DNA sequence: TTAATTGCAAATCCTTTGCAGATTC
DNA sequence: GAATCTGCAAAGGATTTGCAATTAA
């Protein structure tokens, strides 16, 4: 069957490989952490690539829909993006001084997957935020 | 100087019990789920309480700083609030159709506390977001 | 009386959209 | 040549802030 365009349930736009599209992909590939659309736009600027901010937003959104990037809602109403399958870890932040501790959570990863499976969900991504008082600030 | 405010580390504003402050507290007390500042503002309107939107935002923010309410970043750039100590549970959301499954996670609660303790943190609150594809949408 | 609080409107910030021109297939 | 993309600027929606009037302590 060569029918690769059969109108059905969820057929997405073709996603043509343009210069700006590639630039954005590269920017994501080069960063380990989450970045906002504007961060990426700035990075492209500094790298000499001229890409409109609207294009960055549209592309990032398309990539998110296609499951190519993970999206995280940051406080302040910004959306942050990161390429999928990056080394996964979370942060424990002090609400008083902002000190941050990087934590790995193999147990949570496992818990996440089992919960997803139990409920028939797949391709589950998780966002975990731990905020508390660090030793110094609680004294 | 009748020093009654010895400047120290983190002294917060007194937080006076005004009519609108109480109205907001009541609105939060009456709801089990997270609500946006605007949701609360609307609710107060319908309840006959006239409170400015800015006041709702300011009060909610103050309560969040004081640790009286939990804040959640909803996609779309809105912040959602819920009174603390409510029956604690999290959600598993389908990124395609929005279907939501309520999940309880005693194991995560335990994991959270141990991670916090191991790092010398206390009074840790956690926010967990699980997003994936539900059974129907992945078909 | 003093300091905190409120309302309203203007100001910000992040993100989305409309549309004409450039680009890929 | 047709369907996608882009850029720019205008539009939108949520949240913040300035400031004078109001209210609690």
> How many C-alpha atoms does B17 have within 13 Å on its Cβ side?
3
* Cβ distance of A126 and B128 shorter than 8 Å: yes
Write down the pTM of the prediction. Answer: 0.68
* Confidence (pLDDT) at A7: 41
| Spatial distance between the Cα atoms of A3 and A9, rounded to a whole number of angstroms | 14
Interval A55-70: pLDDT, tens? 999 999 999 888 888 8
Q: Which residue has the higher pLDDT, A2 or B26?
A: B26
- Residue A52's closest CA among A43, A63, A41? A41
Domains, chain B, in order of start with CATH, read: 19-134 (1.10.10.10)
Q: Which residues pair with A130 in a beta bridge?
A: A92, B126
> Which nucleotides of chain D are near protein (any atom < 7 Å from a CB)?
4-10, 13-18, 23-25
Closest residue (CA) to C1' of nucleotide D7 is: A52
**Using CA atoms, how far apart are residues B137 and A126, in angstroms rounded to an integer?**
18
Residue A22 has pLDDT above 80, yes or no: yes
Q: Show residues of chain B in contact with A117, CB under 8 Å.
A: none
Cα-based distances in Å from B103 to A3, A129, B8, B99: 41, 17, 42, 13
The secondary structure of B89-123 as a DSSP string is -EEEEETTT--EEEE--HHHHHHHHHHHHHTT-EE
In this complex, the residue with its CA at the shortest distance from the C1' of nucleotide D9 is A54
Contact present, B124 and B113 (Cβ < 8 Å): yes
What tens digit of pLDDT does each residue of B35-62 get?
999 999 999 999 999 999 999 999 999 9
């Amino acid at each position: 069957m060569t029918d690769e365009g059969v109108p059905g349930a969820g057929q997405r736009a073709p996603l043509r490989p343009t210069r700006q599209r590639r630039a954005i992909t590269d920017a994501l590939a080069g960063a380990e952490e989450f970045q906002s659309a504007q961060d990426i736009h700035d990075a492209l600027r500094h790298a000499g690539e001229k890409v409109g901010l609207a294009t960055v937003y549209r592309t990032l959104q398309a990539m998110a829909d296609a499951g190519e990037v993970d999206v995280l809602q940051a406080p302040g109403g910004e959306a942050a993006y990161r390429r999928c399958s990056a080394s996964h870890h979370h942060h424990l932040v002090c609400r008083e001084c902002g000190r941050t501790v990087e934590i790995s959570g193999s147990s949570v990863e496992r818990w996440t997957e089992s919960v997803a499976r139990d409920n028939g969900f797949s391709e589950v991504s998780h966002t975990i935020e731990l905020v508390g008082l660090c030793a110094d600030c609680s004294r």
